[in-house]
Amino acid sequence: MFILITMLTWQCFQPTVLAQIPNSDSSKKIKTIESYRVNSPSGDKDHVSSEHFDDLGNLVKSFSYNNYPNDYTAETNCTYDAKGNKKCITTDENGKETYRYEAKYAGESLVEEKTTYDSKKFSYDDYGNMILEEEYDSDGNFSKSEKNELAYWEGTTDLKMKTTFFKRGDGDFEKYSEANYIFENGVLKEETVVASFFRYEYYYEYFPNGNLKEKISLMDKTEKVVTKYNEDGQRRVEGIFRIKDTEMKLDQKNKWTYDKHGNEVMVESFRNEKLDSKTIREITYY
C-alpha cells in the first residue's frame, strides 16, 4: 500500500510543463490521430486509439480499442458550447453509456468537473493559481478537499511557497506538503516539494528563446529523471535512473520523434539498450 501511495504522490506532484499537444503548429490543424503500439521484435502494430478533431482543434470523437475485459471498443463523443464547456459520453460496442465527463470553464480556468462517479469544484486566486479543490460523490455528498495557501515573491506574480492541506469527510484540514520555488528574472529554476514521507526536487534550464531545455526530477534518493528538450520546448530524450545495488543507475531511456509540424509521431522506450516498447501516431491534417 505504501508503495502505491508513493507512486501516486510522485505522479500528482510532477510539475506542470508545457507538453506537446495537438495543433502545436497554428498553420496546420490536426484532423485525425491513429495511435498504435508496435510489438517487439515482430514489428506488428496493435491499434490503440483513434482521435478525431474539428477545425478548431477540439477533440470531438475518439475510439479506444482492446479494452479490458473482452477487448471491447469504446467510443467517446464530445460536444462544446460557445463558452468552451465540454461534455463527453463514452459508450461500449452496444451503444450503452459507460462513462460521462463534463467540464465547465470560466475563461481558461476549469471551475467544475462532473463524471459518472464524482464531481469536483475548483477556486483560484487573482493570479489564476488554484487555492481550493472540492470533491463530491455521485450523490452530491462531500468527499474530500484540497486547499493551497500561496505566497508570492514580493512585487511579482512568481510563487514563493505553496502549502497544501487535505480534508476528508467531516474532518479538519491537515497539512500535507509544502512546496518552495526559486525564480531568476521571472523564470522558474528550482522547485522543492516536501511532506512527511517524501521529498521531490526539480531543476530547470532554458534555451535563450525561453523554452525549456532540461528538467531534472528527483524522488527522494530512489529515482532521478533527466528530460532534455529541443529548442521548441518539446521532449527529446529522457533518462530514468533508479537505485540498483545501492547505486543510481540508468534503468530506462525514452525518445520522442516529431513530424515537420511539431506534433509527436513516435515514442520509444529502451531498457538495457534494447527497445522495450514503441508507440507511433499517424496524423492527418486539414
pLDDT at 23 over 80: no
- Residue 11 above 80 pLDDT? no
Amino acid, res. 223: E
Q: What pLDDT does residue 42 have?
A: 82
Q: How far apart are CA 64 and CA 142, in angstroms?
A: 32
Q: Residue 24: which pLDDT band, with cuts at 50, 70 and 90? A: low
Q: What digits encode the pLDDT tens for the residues 113-149? A: 999 999 999 999 999 999 999 999 999 999 999 999 9
pLDDT at 26 over 70: no
Q: Are 206 and 212 in contact (CB under 8 A)?
A: yes
Cell triple for residue 22? Answer: 495537438
**pTM, full prediction:** 0.85
Q: Among candidates 85, 112, 115, 86, which has minimal Cα distance to 98?
A: 115
Preceding amide of 69 cis, omega within 30: yes
pLDDT band for position 17 (50/70/90)? Answer: very low
CA distance 267 to 251: 17
Contact between 29 and 57 under an 8 Å Cβ cutoff? The reply is: yes
Over residues 143-188, the pLDDT tens digits come to 999 999 999 999 999 999 999 999 999 999 999 999 999 999 999 9
Say how many residues make up the chain: 286
Q: What is the pLDDT of residues 85-116, one digit of tens each?
A: 999 999 999 999 999 999 999 999 999 999 99
Predicted pLDDT of residue 21: 44
Q: What is the pLDDT of residues 239-254, one digit of tens each?
A: 999 998 889 999 999 9
Q: Which ranges constitute the DSSP H helices of the chain?
A: 2-12
- Which residue carries 479506444 as its cell? 64
**37's grid cell:** 503500439
Read off the pLDDT band of 5 (50, 70, 90).
Answer: very low
Grid cell 523554452 is found at 211
pLDDT reading at 1 higher than 70: no
